[in-house]
Structures are given as C-alpha cells and as structure tokens.
C-alpha cells in the first residue's frame, strides 16, 4: 500500500500538484465552512489554493505524509483532499487525519470514503499510537465523519485560536 497512490471505489488519491490550483480554488468559492478551518477569506481563491498546495510539498518531502488530492475516477475532478498531517497540539506531536471536500460534493459520502481509505493506511503502515481529527466545535458534519471512522471525542481545547474537539482513534 503506497500512501501516494491510494484508491477507493470512486476515488484515486494522489499528491497535490501546482497544476491543481484552479481546481482546488473551487473549494474556497461559496464555502460557508471556511471559518471552521481558521481560514480568513482575505485573499483570492486562487491565492488561497496556491498556499494550501504549497504547504503540502514539505510534508511530502519531510514526513512522507500530507494532504492528497481526491480525484473522482469518473470525471477526473478533485472532489476534496484527505491525508495525515503531523501536528503539534497542546505541546504534543500528533498525527491528524484531515479532510476537506468542495462544497458541490458535500453530502455525497466522499469525506467518509476518503477518510476510511487513509485511516486504513494509517492502521496498516504507520507506527503511531493513534490518529486524531481536530474539528471546530460547531462543525457537526465533520464530527459525523470522524465518528463513522470509529473516532471518539477525547477533549475540547483551543487550536488556531478556535474552540475545537479532538477526536481520536487508537491504532495499537
């Protein structure tokens, strides 16, 4: 199982590329959930997409992890991103199962599908005790995705100046 070449029934997951900017910029259009991610829409959609993608390259290089583009096999469109991101939260290194889906693909099961795939990779291949998802306290759809993946709320804290719940799943 290769992290940079995962797939599900409907999706192929692969590293994000600079050429994905225009497609990923759609994530920022008419998205009333950006505040859940600590994103202030003070730049153009394209600039925000460029920054998002650029953040992945050092993660790929240094950790062999990061957010992967989730590509619809039927259309070739990026429906979202999903992956494992090393994080520091409350002074401890953790590994976050993170995910975002373009608004036009919400409520179609993509978040659950892509996160189940990445969770399976973490269980099989990563030598870590647990994975977490850091979710804004008011982001109920993301909480449902975490719960579908067997994660449980373990604490409330502040992350990126936001009130969040940490959902966790033990891997060992």
Mean pLDDT of 100-114: 96
Domain positions in the chain are 3-170
At a CB cut-off of 8 Å and minimum separation 6, what does 109 contact?
A: none
The predicted pLDDT at position 49 comes to 95
Whether 41 has a pLDDT exceeding 80, the answer reads no
Which is nearest to 156 in space by CA: 147, 168, 172, 142?
168
Helix (H) or strand (E) holding 148: helix 140-148
Whether 42 has a pLDDT exceeding 80, the answer reads no
Phi then psi for residue 75, to 5 deg, are -110, -20
Q: Which of 41-45, 53-57, 86-90 is predicted with the least confidence, judged by mean pLDDT?
A: 41-45
Whether 48 has a pLDDT exceeding 80, the answer reads yes
Mean pLDDT of 47-75: 96
Q: How confident is the model at residue 30 (pLDDT cuts 50, 70, 90)?
A: confident
Spatial strand order in the sheet of 152-159 = 6-7, 11-15, 66-72, 78-89, 92-101, 130-136, 162-170, 152-159
CATH architecture of the domain with range 3-170 = 3-Layer(aba) Sandwich (3.40)
The predicted pLDDT at position 37 comes to 85
Q: How confident is the model at residue 172 (pLDDT cuts 50, 70, 90)?
A: confident
- Give the pair of three-digit tokens for residue 119: 């969770």
pTM confidence score: 0.94
């Amino acid at each position: 199982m290769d992290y940079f070449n995962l797939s599900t029934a409907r999706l192929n997951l692969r590293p994000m590329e600079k050429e994905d900017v225009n497609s990923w910029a759609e994530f920022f259009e008419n998205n009333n959930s950006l505040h859940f991610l600590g994103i202030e829409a003070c730049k153009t959609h394209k600039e925000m997409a460029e920054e998002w993608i650029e953040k992945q390259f050092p993660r790929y290089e240094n950790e062999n992890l990061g957010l992967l583009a989730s590509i619809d096999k039927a259309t070739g469109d990026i429906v979202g991103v999903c992956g494992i991101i090393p994080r520091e939260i409350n002074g401890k290194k953790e590994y976050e199962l993170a995910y975002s889906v373009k608004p036009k693909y919400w409520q179609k099961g993509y978040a659950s599908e892509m996160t189940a795939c990445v969770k399976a990779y973490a269980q099989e291949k990563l030598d870590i005790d647990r994975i977490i998802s850091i979710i804004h306290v008011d982001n109920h759809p993301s909480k449902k995705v975490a719960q579908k993946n067997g994660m449980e709320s373990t604490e409330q804290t502040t992350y990126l100046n936001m009130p969040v719940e940490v959902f966790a799943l033990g891997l060992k």
